[in-house]
């Protein structure tokens, strides 16, 4: 299993109140799986995704990704772990507006030991894979939403991470662009064997996944 | 390289905001530089003072003179190499606005004690031979167009009447610290006219300038001079030339302190303005910083980006400000005429300007950087800019 979650719990404090978000989550995700996390707003699906991606910490339980118990890592180690093991695809793409498509995709590679030439080759390959070889020098503001999300996907896969996490990757896109992005994510899973965990509200998007897990009031329903 | 690219592109993202912030820093740095230069000009006389000269004046006040007869007694004191004397004249050239220092000096000895006043020997001889002769500083000559041979008329205030002089020489400074805005004429001329217009002031001297055989004997010689004239009708107060000059500055110290406070207040204000700009900038980019953190970039990367941007903006403002300070100081110096013995931007002022700009950058970036590095990634990602 690439992701092993045992009795995971997470709560937020709002004023004096403690609001439980996730309660006793136990979940396994196999390598090469493509899982869609669905559920109503506030069900905890994004929180679960954030915990798996190592950008938030649980209150209790264990969470192993790629054999590493990430709950025990400190901030610096967790950052280094994320850089190596997690590819992020955000709803609003989260590209750096002052960097070109090429530079945005190159960004995660700056944390590796690769030289400039190797980085360039990797970036060209990644952008070719998402069909944006002709948009290398374009800034995000010069790209459509769908193109920006494809740049974000190229950035997510550039370091060949253990898992790809996608939070509503089509939430900000029109139908045609959303379809392109979903097909691309599907290809990453089928052709490259990437493990993908995607949060979505969209049943059509979820249908592309190999398995769907429903969350309701912080608990896994199915 | 990546950092530099991001820093410069980020700095230019909101061009108007950056331009206005840079403009604010330029104004602050220029104002700071000019005010510091005013303060330096205030102290210029004291800074240029020689360590091997003492000034002896009436112990009660500078307003009261000393007898001419003291010169011989002072000369006999061990450690004294030479003695000269001078009187403040306080005349008006055409209008009160045209202020410059005028001294009646003992022509045969005075310039020997001031090697920093470089007078061509022939001009000095002409001055010493002509009772109505005057020697003027280069800056003064340039300001009023005085040339050797010109007649200059001063209206006396302490010594009434119209005083006619002939410019016999123009002195230059041995270095750029030398005050080249003074007007010297013969004390003998003053004394001669005083017999008619102010008999009580005859044979009296404003200050004695004492040349020392060795600078390290200043305290000993000063004490001996004052002891010599203790219990006389005109007791002396002898001090180093620098202490004497600082005595004048201390009379206006409140103004100097006020100028200093204002100069630092300006820096403080722009510091707050830039801190606000940086805070606003970082707040707007919080989701970008959170994204970088999610991708694995640590706090050091974010700090480099934020501090780098603050330093680029403050540095740009500082460089423009420093470059502008020179011509503006030059104009200011010309506008004030011969009010200050020298008005030039010191190297120390430039270093202070740079230090202030660095301080502005650091203070402005500190809190925003702390916030950006401390923000939880999930909170930062929610903050869509």
Q: Where are the domains of chain B?
A: 2-45+254-382, 60-234
Using alpha carbons only, how large is chain B's radius of gyration in Å?
A: 29
> Under an 8 A CB cutoff, do B295 and A98 touch?
no
Count of CB contacts below 8 A, A vs B?
60
pLDDT at A91 over 70: yes
**Which residues in A lie closer than 8 A to residue B294 (C-beta atoms)?**
53, 55, 82, 88
**Assigned token pair, B25:** 């820093």
HSE-CB of B275 using CA atoms within 13 angstroms: 15
pLDDT in tens, B231-273: 898 999 999 988 888 877 777 788 888 999 999 999 999 999 9
Mean pLDDT of chain A: 92
Chain A CB contacts of B378 below 8 Å: 50, 55-56
Q: Give the minimum alpha-carbon distance from B11 to chain A in angstroms, rounded to a whole number.
A: 10
In a domain, A149, yes or no: yes
In this complex, is the C-beta atom of B381 within 8 Å of any C-beta atom belonging to chain A? yes
The pLDDT score that the predictor gives to residue B179 is 87
Residues of chain B with pLDDT under 70: 338, 383-385
Give the H/E segment covering residue B84. Answer: strand B80-88
> Which one, of B71, B52, B2, B64, lies nearest residue B305 by Cα?
B2
Flag if A82 and B295 touch (Cβ within 8 Å).
yes
ipTM confidence score: 0.93
C-alpha B264, offset from chain centre: 17
| B93-140 tens-digit pLDDT | 999 888 899 999 999 999 999 999 999 999 999 999 999 999 999 989
Q: How many domains does chain A have?
A: 1
In contact, B210 and B221? CB cutoff 8 Å: yes
| Average pLDDT over every residue of A1-30 | 91
Distances (CA, A) of B239 to A13, B45, B58, B227: 73, 15, 11, 13
Distance CA B278, CA B361 (A): 9
Instruction: Give the model's pLDDT for residue B238.
Output: 95
Q: Which long-range contacts (CB under 8 A, 24 or more apart) does B11-17 make?
A: B11/B309, B11/B312, B11/B313, B13/A97, B13/A98, B14/B281, B17/B277, B17/B281
Q: What is the pLDDT at residue B49?
A: 75
Query: Which residues constitute the domain of residue A82?
Result: 32-57+73-220
| Whole-number Cα distances in Å, B326 to A128, B25, B33, B183 | 55, 16, 9, 27
Chain B residues with CB under 8 Å of A123 CB are none
pLDDT at residue A116 in the model: 92
Output the six-digit token pair for A54.
Answer: 């190592």
Closest CA to A199 of A41, A38, A89: A38
**Residue A3 near residue A25 (C-beta atoms within 8 A):** no
Q: Is A48 on the interface with B (CB under 8 A)?
A: no
| Contact status, residue B257 vs residue B274, Cβ threshold 8 Å | no
A19 domain-assigned: no
pLDDT of amino acid A222: 57
What is the 3-class SS of B221-246, one letter each residue? HHHHHHHHCCCCCCCEEEEEHHHHHH
**Does A94 contact chain B (CB < 8 Å)?**
yes
Gap from B27 CA to chain A (nearest CA, Å):
29
The torsion angles phi and psi of A167, rounded to 5 degrees, stand at: -105, 105
Question: Is A107 an interface residue toward B (CB < 8 Å)?
Answer: yes
Taking CA atoms, what residue in B is nearest to A51?
B378
Å between A153 CA and nearest CA of chain B: 13
Question: What CA–CA distance (Å, rounded) separates A93 from B325?
Answer: 47
Answer whether A79 sits within 8 Å of B9, measured CB to CB: no
Closest CA to B238 of B51, B56, B49: B56
- How far is B203 from B147, CA to CA, in rounded Å? 31
* Closest partner CB to B2 (pick from A50, A80, A110): A110
pLDDT digits (tens, 9 = 90+) for A19-41: 899 999 999 999 999 999 999 98
**What pLDDT score was predicted for residue B385?**
44
Q: What is the pLDDT of residues A42-79, one digit of tens each?
A: 899 999 999 999 999 999 999 999 989 999 999 999 99
Instruction: List the 281-340 stretch of B: residues with Cβ below 8 A of A.
Output: 287-288, 291-298
- On chain B, the residues whose CB falls within 8 A of the CB of A155 are 295
d(CA A140, CA B119): 72
Q: What pLDDT sits at residue B183?
A: 95
pLDDT number for residue B338: 67
Asked if residue A198 is part of any domain, the answer here is yes
Residues of B in contact with A90 (CB under 8 A): 291, 381
Look at residue B329 in the predicted model and tell me its pLDDT: 92
- Chain centroid to Cα B245, Å, comes to 13
- For residue B380, give how far its alpha carbon lies from the nearest alpha carbon of chain A (Å): 11
Distance (Å) from the alpha carbon of B378 to chain A's nearest alpha carbon = 7
User: Hey, are the CB atoms on B377 and A99 less than 8 Å from each other?
Assistant: no
Residue with the two structure tokens 């500078």: B62
Residue A27, in any domain of the structure: no
Chain B residues touching A88 at Cβ < 8 A = 291, 294-295
| d(CA A171, nearest CA chain B) in Å | 14
DSSP label of B366: H
Q: CATH no. for residue A215?
A: 3.40.50.300
**pLDDT value, residue B333:** 83
Closest partner residue to A111 (CB to CB) among B5, B294, B296 is: B296
Nearest CA in chain B to A91: B381
* Model confidence at A1: pLDDT above 80: yes
Assess contact for B383 and B291: CB atoms under 8 A.
Answer: no
Residue B219 and residue A195: Cα distance in Å, rounded? Answer: 88
- Residue from the list A88, A96, A97 with its beta carbon closest to the beta carbon of B294: A88
CA distance B272 to chain A (A): 27
A7 in a structural domain: no
């Amino acid at each position: 299993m690439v992701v092993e979650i045992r009795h995971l719990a997470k709560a937020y404090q709002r004023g004096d109140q403690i609001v439980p978000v996730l309660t006793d989550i136990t979940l396994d995700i196999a390598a090469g799986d493509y899982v869609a996390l669905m559920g109503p707003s506030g069900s905890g699906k994004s929180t679960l995704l954030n915990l798996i991606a190592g950008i938030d910490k649980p209150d209790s339980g264990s969470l192993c990704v790629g054999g590493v118990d990430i709950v025990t890592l400190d901030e610096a180690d967790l950052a280094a772990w994320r850089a190596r093991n997690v590819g992020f695809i955000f709803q609003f793409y989260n590209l750096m507006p002052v960097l070109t498509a090429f530079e945005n995709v190159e960004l995660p590679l700056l944390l590796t030991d690769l030289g400039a030439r190797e980085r360039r080759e990797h970036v060209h390959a990644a952008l070719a894979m998402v069909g944006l070889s002709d948009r290398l020098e374009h800034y995000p503001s010069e790209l459509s939403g769908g193109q920006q999300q494809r740049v974000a996907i190229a950035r997510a896969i550039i370091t060949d991470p253990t898992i790809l996490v996608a939070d509503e990757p089509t939430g900000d896109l029109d139908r045609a662009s959303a379809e392109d992005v979903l097909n691309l994510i599907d290809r990453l899973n089928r052709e490259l064997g990437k493990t993908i965990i995607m949060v979505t509200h969209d049943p059509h998007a979820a249908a592309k996944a190999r398995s769907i897990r429903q969350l309701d009031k912080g608990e896994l329903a199915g | 390289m990546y950092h530099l690219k991001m820093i410069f592109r980020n700095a230019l993202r909101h061009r108007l905001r950056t331009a206005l912030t840079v403009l604010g820093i330029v104004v602050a740095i220029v104002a700071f530089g000019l005010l510091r230069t005013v303060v330096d000009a205030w102290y210029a006389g004291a800074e240029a003072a020689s360590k091997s000269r003492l000034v002896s004046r009436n112990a009660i006040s500078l307003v009261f003179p000393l007898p001419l007869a003291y010169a011989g007694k002072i000369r006999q004191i061990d450690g004294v190499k030479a003695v000269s004397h001078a009187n403040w004249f306080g005349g008006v050239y055409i209008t009160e606005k045209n202020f410059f220092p005028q001294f009646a000096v003992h022509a045969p000895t005075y310039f020997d004690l001031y090697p920093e006043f470089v007078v061509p020997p022939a001009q000095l001889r002409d001055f010493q031979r002509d009772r109505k002769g005057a020697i003027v500083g280069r800056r003064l000559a340039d300001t009023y167009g005085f040339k050797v041979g010109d007649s200059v008329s001063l209206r006396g205030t302490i010594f009434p009447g119209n005083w006619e002089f002939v410019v016999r020489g123009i002195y230059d400074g041995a270095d750029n610290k030398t005050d080249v805005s003074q007007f010297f004429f013969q004390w003998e001329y003053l004394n001669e006219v005083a017999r008619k217009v102010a008999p009580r002031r005859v044979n009296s001297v404003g200050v004695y300038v004492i040349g020392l055989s060795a600078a390290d004997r200043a305290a000993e010689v000063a004490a001996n001079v004052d002891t010599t004239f203790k219990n006389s009708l005109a007791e002396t107060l002898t001090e180093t030339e620098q202490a004497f000059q600082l005595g004048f500055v201390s009379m206006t110290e409140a103004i100097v302190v006020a100028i200093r406070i204002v100069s630092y207040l300006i820096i403080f204000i722009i510091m707050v303005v830039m801190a606000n700009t940086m805070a606003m900038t970082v707040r707007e980019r919080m989701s970008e910083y959170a994204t970088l953190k999610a991708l694995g970039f640590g706090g050091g990367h974010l700090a480099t980006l934020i501090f780098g941007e603050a330093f680029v903006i403050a540095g740009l403002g500082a460089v423009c400000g420093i470059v502008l300070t020179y011509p503006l100081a030059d104009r200011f110096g010309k506008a004030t005429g011969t009010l200050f013995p020298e008005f030039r931007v010191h190297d120390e002022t430039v270093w202070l300007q740079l230090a202030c700009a660095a301080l502005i950058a650091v203070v402005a970036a500190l809190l925003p950087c702390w916030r950006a590095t401390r923000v939880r990634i999930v909170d930062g990602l929610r903050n869509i800019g």
